Structure 1
């Protein structure tokens, strides 16, 4: 199937950037230590903040670092290439391919995410587990649910970034919108602080937004904050946002490609 070939090709493509991967592992690990010690001070002052104990909070830190590149928590993730192709007019070539544009880029993003999860996710998490008392599950089934949740989170992340990229059909420069989207993802995914810590109605609203499905839900699955019915509801939450955003992306794509205006040539 062509989508599998595209995903495999994307995996191999990102695997060639070995120096960038090593640099990313180093950066993620350093920031993991900085945030971890910040969380230790915070949870020493406020034990069980947001319903987490300190070990769960530290696990959240290293999960965020492990998923930073895979789930594109700071935007980018290859979709900036699509923005550039739209701006330059190369998207016209993509539209002539005998493959759906959205599914092509989704397959490529899944291949990219798989490589980043292995290349930039495992090492920081392993370092964190060696230095800090993390609340990692011993049950292989929990790890399986976590990987499924991560996959659904990547789909939600892609769907949001794809919508931002499609805005370039109408904008001469979509970098500003991409920056705003990246900041929203960092804040509302739980990258800055777990959404469970947010107070009152604001916290409840934040956990209903699609960004929560990118990091907060997978992290909750890993630390054991979701099990049974809450695990099922979390996965359904991610799947529902993924389907809804992909459908919206399909509508926007259809509107954009009815009359393609090439800005760059």
Structure 2
């Protein structure tokens, strides 16, 4: 485990070196947060209680989701593009020769990246939103702890999905198309565009059981007190943990299939 802790620390330091890119990301997240927040404010003024949230909760959803945007790599910026490029160039052979598990290596590195993005790009937009709008941020430290656990589980779910996208390069060789489609799916089905509770009927129930809901919608509901009871909170975290096990297991099976017969190009 010390090896993977060192890999995670290296991932944190790697992204910490890009100060200008981080500042640009903070500015972008903050500006986009204001745009979305004013849109949500107008929508909730016309439709109070939409999706089960009041106006303050809806605005909290906006700003906290902006703080998680880069950490969860909802619109790219994760490791999947790197692993796809390593497959294309043949550098993946070096990864396979390391005395470490391939999936655990990339998970540790991505969690290090996520930790930096959460701190480096997440705090300022949230503070800006809290100063400009009335947000429904909880005062209960226990709920913040549950939220942190839920965020970590959501980040692992995000990793597991993106890891399988990265492995598809073993067959596709060029992942740009699949990455674009994955970004659209991630934005819509995670709740980044609109909370999933807004969607009615069978479609709403369907999108709330997909793995993308575990990335953002569930952590947000934990923070906003939708899962405030002990049983509800355990159920929400269990839902996320279930997807973690399923997706990591699927990724391991896909990894096994991909590495049984490796074709190295350009290496």
How high is the TM-score relative to the length of structure 1?
0.98
Q: 1:78 Cα deviation (Å)?
A: 2.1
* Aligned equivalent of 1:243, options 234, 242, 245: 245
Q: Could you report, residue by residue, the CA deviation over 1:243-262 in whole angstroms, capped at 9, with x for unpaired residues?
A: 10000000000010011011
- Counterpart of 2:201? 200
**Residue number in structure 1 paired with 2:61:** 60
| Conserved 8 A contact 1:75-1:181 | no
Alignment of 1:33-182 (within 5 A): 33-182=34-183
**Mapped partners of 1:18, 1:143: distance in 2:** 28
Separation of aligned partners in 1, 2:172 and 2:265: 9
Aligned twin of 2:233: 231
Gaps of 5+ in 2: none
Whole-angstrom distance in 1 between the partners of 2:43 and 2:207: 21
| Paired residue secondary structure (1:170) | helix
Cα distance in structure 1, aligned partners of 2:32 and 2:227: 26
**What does the per-residue CA deviation read over 1:58-109, in whole Å, with 9 as the maximum and x for residues that have no partner?**
0000011000000111133122111110111100011000000000000000
Contact 2:84–2:173 (CA<8 Å) still a contact in 1?
Answer: no
Name the Cα RMSD after superposition.
0.8
Tell me by how many angstroms 1:5 deviates: 0.4
TM-score by length of 2: 0.98
Q: Structure 1: 5+ residue runs without aligned partners?
A: none
Alignment: residue pair count? 265
Higher alpha-carbon deviation: 210-219 or 76-85: 76-85
Structure 1 runs of 4+ with >4 Å offset: none
Distance 2:76 2:24 in 1: 18
